[in-house]
Chain A
């Protein structure tokens, strides 16, 4: 049962991802990206990472993709860019990606016997992703990075506004 869900989601995810990078117009890419995010969220559900489910939807599918859409609409893309590169470069890119995949899988395989083991634990029986334990971990063990991230956001905020001003930075 779980396995079926897993494979379905995985298939959806891959289709969406491939279409993201292969679509002709950026708008389509964005929309397929949203689909991919939903698939990923589904995977989080399978893993019982409840907090991440919510956060993923809100932050990624909600905020980030909306930003992308805003930007696309802001920029005038009617000049008819050629989105594709020369055949050779595209070939090189795909080959690189495939090579990377192969090698990484091989590396994972090497380490998989010893490190990962075959814990059959999946989904409902994992308690780690629940909000309360996660919150406790966040505010106990990872308090400092959490506070620092607020500073990070402040910096990003100021930077984005400063960069976005018309008439140069101030």
Chain B
């Protein structure tokens, strides 16, 4: 079987899984649906791995292969075809998506086994995997957009999975609408791209763009518009408020979609389009600033949150900001490196949180947890690994990726670096806070709740992801260590090579500062919430900056007042007044006109025969008069 056939199978298997579990889920039952979905995803991972092994040193300078599946829109001038392509970047993304995805599917078998809608859950999850694969394997922007929309749809379906609760539905709608706003920017970017280049295919667009001058206004426009799409999909300022609310969905959903894969679609898109972005320094600067601002903003909010999943959600937003910071300073493969490591430890954090929630029968408020490390040993250990990784403490994965980003930022501007370090400090602090309050300190668990460790279907993925959180860092070591940077080398044909020009002395210094800051943040949190035994207080007791952080700086309320309320008012005006008086009025007016005419004409029907005769005579007179005169 040739490579392209294997490539087509990779998204086809989850699609098949979606169809089978979707149509026959009721008959298959929860366990079988879950295993089927897991197997489909794992099989895709296996195929991707096979392709990887067949081409271990990348694809050479040719950057991979592609092929056309079918003609999609053979409209004159547009000529879209549905095609897939494989190059280092998409291969790595595929491995991450299917690998982490398969683990999360396995975890969900245990997590969802009490839920009556489990087969529907697994069909949606497989649909998501399919859409994500279409997104990363596309060979033109239109197909990518299909996948883009598909993951948005699945996000909506899965966030609102427990659809009987109104607030979950509202969260799902909010996610979808904010995505849509970003998608509008993305579409406008596509239109501009088509007008400029006459095609949406990667090869054509990048080839033609290479000949353009840097800073061309139309390129800046296109790249900014595409980034608007990324803002929505990857939860950057200002389109980030949907992600914390998306925690309404089941925890595996949060792990898969809102940590490891969908939210990184924006990062993938920017890396894929790096040819365009390299020629538009203004948009790169924008991306860096937005990313950094998001990283800090979200970290500040995470400091005071009480819901375990909300802390992790804001943490995701913050880490995504880091990724965009890397892209903004031109270090594409470094940004991707962070995507890679973040997938492992963030998924692990979410699944661990899910394990805790499952053990405590649904409790998510960290004020009601504590001292769980004895009761949930595996969960605790893996959570610890992930926390250390995200805080950037060596030798765990997060250290290498985050430090590479900060080094790249320093090269561009020390100010960027300094703010980034501050955000790293905050990250270490709130993650330490979370760890201590949940697993250490004193037990504040409610009466009657007996925490117990989770079944093997849930703990095995945790362990595997922990291994990834430790090991993945070594794949992208910075040059100063003297070891090859596998990630950067592998991605070079697709993402451009990034050369660091810092002296090795500066590098070591920066690394040392990062480590010190991370340890300081972590240690401070451990001391404050451990021995000092501070417990987050009631909402009303929070004052000052803490209160600002707690209420998420009131951004949601701002959007509600400025955007949502006027839109609803407009909508109800249109459906009320404009519709009733305007449209209905026209219709009724038309009917009224005719019945009025009828009423007038009816008065001729007097029933008085002589009147009729008079009328007839009058008519004859008129006709004869016309004949006489005409």
A–B touch (CB < 8 A): the answer is yes
CB neighbours of A100 from chain B (8 A): 617, 620-621, 624
Task: Bits for A91-132, please: 1 = Cβ < 8 Å to B, else 0.
Answer: 010001101100110110010000000000000000000000
Check if A110 sits within 8 Å of B627, measured CB to CB. yes
Question: In whole Å, how far is B1's beta carbon from the nearest beta carbon of chain A?
Answer: 87
Residues facing A in B594-630 (CB within 8 A) are 610, 614, 617-618, 620-621, 624-625, 627-628
Interface size, A (range): 10 to 19
Check if B628 sits within 8 Å of A96, measured CB to CB. no
Check if B618 sits within 8 Å of A107, measured CB to CB. no
Check if A99 sits within 8 Å of B614, measured CB to CB. no
Count of residues in B whose CB is under 8 Å from the partner chain: 10
CA distance A89 to B627 in the complex (A): 28
CA distance A97 to B614 in the complex (A): 10
Task: Bits for B285-311, please: 1 = Cβ < 8 Å to A, else 0.
Answer: 000000000000000000000000000
Which residue on chain B has the smallest CB distance to residue A105?
Answer: B628
CB neighbours of A99 from chain B (8 A): 621
CA distance A99 to B628 in the complex (A): 13
Question: In whole Å, how far is A109's beta carbon from the nearest beta carbon of chain B?
Answer: 8
Check if A96 sits within 8 Å of B618, measured CB to CB. yes
CB neighbours of B621 from chain A (8 A): 96, 99-100, 103
Question: In whole Å, how far is B551's beta carbon from the nearest beta carbon of chain A?
Answer: 89
How many contacts A-B (CB < 8 Å)? 24
Check if B627 sits within 8 Å of A107, measured CB to CB. yes
Question: In whole Å, how far is A11's beta carbon from the nearest beta carbon of chain B?
Answer: 26
CA distance A106 to B621 in the complex (A): 11
CA distance A143 to B620 in the complex (A): 32
Which residue on chain B has the smallest CB distance to residue A108?
Answer: B628
Check if B628 sits within 8 Å of A110, measured CB to CB. yes
Which residue on chain B has the smallest CB distance to residue A92?
Answer: B614
Question: In whole Å, how far is A104's beta carbon from the nearest beta carbon of chain B?
Answer: 6
CA distance A126 to B512 in the complex (A): 138
Question: In whole Å, how far is A55's beta carbon from the nearest beta carbon of chain B?
Answer: 28
CB neighbours of A103 from chain B (8 A): 621, 624-625, 628
Check if A104 sits within 8 Å of B624, measured CB to CB. yes
CB neighbours of B618 from chain A (8 A): 96
Check if B614 sits within 8 Å of A96, measured CB to CB. yes
CB neighbours of B614 from chain A (8 A): 92, 96
Question: In whole Å, how far is B630's beta carbon from the nearest beta carbon of chain A?
Answer: 9
CA distance A135 to B583 in the complex (A): 70
CB neighbours of A107 from chain B (8 A): 624, 627-628
Question: In whole Å, how far is A83's beta carbon from the nearest beta carbon of chain B?
Answer: 14
CB neighbours of A96 from chain B (8 A): 614, 617-618, 621
CB neighbours of B628 from chain A (8 A): 103, 106-107, 110
CA distance A110 to B624 in the complex (A): 11
CA distance A170 to B618 in the complex (A): 39
Which residue on chain B has the smallest CB distance to residue A103?
Answer: B624
CB neighbours of B610 from chain A (8 A): 89
CA distance A96 to B620 in the complex (A): 11
CA distance A89 to B610 in the complex (A): 10
CB neighbours of A89 from chain B (8 A): 610
CB neighbours of A92 from chain B (8 A): 614
Question: In whole Å, how far is A114's beta carbon from the nearest beta carbon of chain B?
Answer: 13
Task: Bits for B179-209, please: 1 = Cβ < 8 Å to A, else 0.
Answer: 0000000000000000000000000000000
CA distance A89 to B608 in the complex (A): 13
Which residue on chain A has the smallest CB distance to residue B627?
Answer: A107
Which residue on chain A has the smallest CB distance to residue B618?
Answer: A96
Task: Bits for A55-87, please: 1 = Cβ < 8 Å to B, else 0.
Answer: 000000000000000000000000000000000
| From B620, B621, B624, residue with most partner A Cβ within 10 Å | B624
CB neighbours of B625 from chain A (8 A): 103
Which residue on chain A has the smallest CB distance to residue B617?
Answer: A96
Question: In whole Å, how far is A69's beta carbon from the nearest beta carbon of chain B?
Answer: 24
CB neighbours of B620 from chain A (8 A): 100
Question: In whole Å, how far is B136's beta carbon from the nearest beta carbon of chain A?
Answer: 87
CA distance A92 to B614 in the complex (A): 9
CA distance A157 to B436 in the complex (A): 113
CA distance A97 to B424 in the complex (A): 110
Which residue on chain A has the smallest CB distance to residue B630?
Answer: A110
CA distance A12 to B617 in the complex (A): 26
CA distance A99 to B618 in the complex (A): 9
CB neighbours of A97 from chain B (8 A): 617
CA distance A130 to B345 in the complex (A): 122
Which residue on chain B has the smallest CB distance to residue A109?
Answer: B628
Question: In whole Å, how far is A82's beta carbon from the nearest beta carbon of chain B?
Answer: 15
Which residue on chain A has the smallest CB distance to residue B620?
Answer: A100
Residues facing A in B249-288 (CB within 8 A) are none
Which residue on chain A has the smallest CB distance to residue B622?
Answer: A103
CB neighbours of A110 from chain B (8 A): 627-628
Task: List 7 contacting pairs A-B, 8 Å CB cutoff, sorted by A.
Answer: A89-B610, A96-B617, A96-B621, A97-B617, A99-B621, A100-B621, A103-B624
Interface residues of B (CB under 8 A from A): 610, 614, 617-618, 620-621, 624-625, 627-628
4 nearest A-B pairs in the assembled complex, by CB-CB distance? A106-B628, A103-B624, A107-B628, A107-B627
